[in-house]
Chain A
Amino acid sequence: MGIIKTDKLVFEYIRRDEEGNVEGITRAVDEVDLDIAQGDFVAILGHNGSGKSTLAKHINAILYPTEGTVWVDGMDTQDEKQLWDIRQEAGMVFQNPDNQIIGQVVEEDVGFGPENMGVPTEEIWQRVEESLKAVGMYEFRKYSPNKLSGGQKQRVSIAGVIAMHPKCIILDEPTAMLDPNGRREVIRAVRALNDVEGITIVLITHYMEEIIHADKVFVMDQGRIAMQGTPREIFSQVEKLKGLRLDVPQVTLLAYELQKSGVALPDGILTVEELVKELSAVYHRG
């Protein structure tokens, strides 16, 4: 069993009218089976309303399954006794950077998690320093969060999670509100954590460019897992992705269109460099 495992996970939102009568039930997550190994970089992809955020909130025990089970590092998320252990092991970063920073100074915010866990004062300082260095925000430790850019704020949020020493981090569309520069900053920081610290990453996103470095990709649609595989396997199915209202990266699309009109290119090209290489190979072959 991997660090995160779900078994036939179902979650239903119950809509009620003003008198509290049930108006309708929306199945946000529908029989999802996941198994994520320690140290993996996993991306979950899906358009708005596909249930990906709802799924993410189950891993951190913010939501509890209607049916089925979620285990984090072998702990059942419905077990209240282990709630705080689960939240410490599976850290979560949310979409809006402003709404998840609690401290008025960067270092205080990073220390918030360890404070809640009851970590002794000296160790908090040590953890804060390590975490801020890991995301490259150490020189901003005395700043007010209000003076940072979106990407910087989001890196502070990530540092705040790392300071809790989690085994995995779930990032729920961390780049949705950022500009392209901020987006790159955040993704770079996340990849470094995965490579250097070996932290399991679950990245939820709808930006295709962000998932090409993932070990495994899950594509969600209407609460179900519609596709899974490596980024290359996923992106070689351009038509199917379009059917799920998802865009493929421009390079991949270009390669796909070229392939369709007769250029001999392999499936699932992910980067510009790759396409250049393949195209020049085709050119030299004649």
Chain B
Amino acid sequence: MLRDITLGQYYQTESVIHKLDPRVKLVATICFIISLFVVKSWVGYAVAAVFLAVMIKLSNVPFKYMVKGMRAIVFILLITVVFNLFLTPGETVFSVWKLKITREGVQLAVMMAVRLSFLIVGSSVMTLTTTPNSLTDGMEKLMRPLKIFKVPVHEVAMMMSIALRFIPILLEETDKIMKAQIARGADFESGNLVKKAKALVPLLVPLFISAFRRANDLAMAMEARCYRGGEHRTKMKPLKYAARDRIAYGVLAAYFALCIVVRIYL
């Protein structure tokens, strides 16, 4: 049922990574992604691979969940590999008709593939071990300095968490409207793409109207409960760094330093 839908791809289990502060995980993911672009040599990728493998092991999430995220990018991966393979100039090793595969091309294609898949798996580690809610909290806290530049950090975070709360409700509503329309002879299945898109109009209009109505009600309910933006607000579950978070930052710094060293000397 739509009601039981899980948002994001959080995988519920006990692990050190699950317990880490969301801010640490966010910073770590960003650092890991940057590090993938810092290293240029096979030794560098080996370092990244070891780091990633250790994180996956620590997270207690089955490896097949990690790879699931890859399915979405198979196509992009393929295109990248093919383009790099054929369009990199250099020493030819193999040629078919007008297409030449070069030694440099093979090297680059493999590197790009490794880079992209590490990137996806790396961010999966974060999304699989952090609930969307604490992720939003972490983002709010991390972006707080941006307030100086008048970025509405609290508001954006609040919008994200409200969106997360309402996605299942709106999905259920879509389902209901769809069934109501089907009961009255609407056809969402057959026809070509244009026809299918047109069939969605009678679904989207009531859905939007109802979403606006909900938004109006919710705004009123929030005001009635004294909501007045981020000012004066306290937190029920404030984020606090624990010892393990500091250790995690240490590990992260060491990894990043190693990547830079590898880049310079190897």
A102-B224 CB under 8 A given contacts A119-B234, A124-B236: no
6 nearest interchain CB pairs? Answer: A100-B221, A99-B217, A111-B236, A116-B226, A92-B224, A113-B225
A112-B225 CB under 8 A given contacts A62-B220, A99-B218: yes
Contact present for B217 and A94 (CB under 8 Å): yes
In the complex, what residue of chain B is closest to A146 when comparing beta carbons? B168
The residues of A with any CB-CB pair to B shorter than 8 Å are: 60, 62, 84, 87-88, 91-92, 94, 96, 98-105, 107-108, 111-121, 124-125, 128, 145-147, 160-161, 164
In the complex, what residue of chain A is closest to B165 when comparing beta carbons? A104
Number of A-B pairs, beta carbon distance below 8 Å: 91
Contact present for B224 and A87 (CB under 8 Å): yes
- Chain A contacts for B235, CB-based, 8 A: 115, 121
CB distance from B12 to the nearest CB of A (A): 12
CB distance from A81 to the nearest CB of B (A): 13
The residues of B with any CB-CB pair to A shorter than 8 Å are: 3, 132-133, 161-162, 164-165, 168-169, 213-214, 217-218, 220-228, 232-238
Contact present for B236 and A87 (CB under 8 Å): no
Q: Which of B132, B165, B223 contacts A101 (CB 8 A)?
A: B165
Tell which of B162, B225, B237 has the most Cβ of chain A within 10 Å: B225
Having A100-B218, A105-B133, one finds 6 other A-B pairs with CB under 8 Å, namely A87-B226, A91-B225, A102-B225, A115-B236, A118-B233, A124-B236
Contact present for A84 and B236 (CB under 8 Å): no
A108-B237 CB under 8 A given contacts A62-B220, A94-B217, A99-B218: yes
Q: How far is the CA of A129 from the CA of B255 in the complex (A)?
A: 43
CB distance from A201 to the nearest CB of B (A): 16
Q: How far is the CA of A121 from the CA of B253 in the complex (A)?
A: 32
Contact present for B225 and A103 (CB under 8 Å): no
CB distance from B226 to the nearest CB of A (A): 4
- Chain B contacts for A99, CB-based, 8 A: 213-214, 217-218, 221
- Chain A contacts for B164, CB-based, 8 A: 104
Contact present for B162 and A91 (CB under 8 Å): no
In the complex, what residue of chain A is closest to B4 when comparing beta carbons? A147
Q: How far is the CA of A119 from the CA of B164 in the complex (A)?
A: 25
Contact present for A115 and B168 (CB under 8 Å): no
A102-B217 CB under 8 A given contacts A115-B233, A116-B227: no
- Chain B contacts for A121, CB-based, 8 A: 234-236, 238
Q: How far is the CA of A88 from the CA of B228 in the complex (A)?
A: 12
- Chain B contacts for A161, CB-based, 8 A: 225
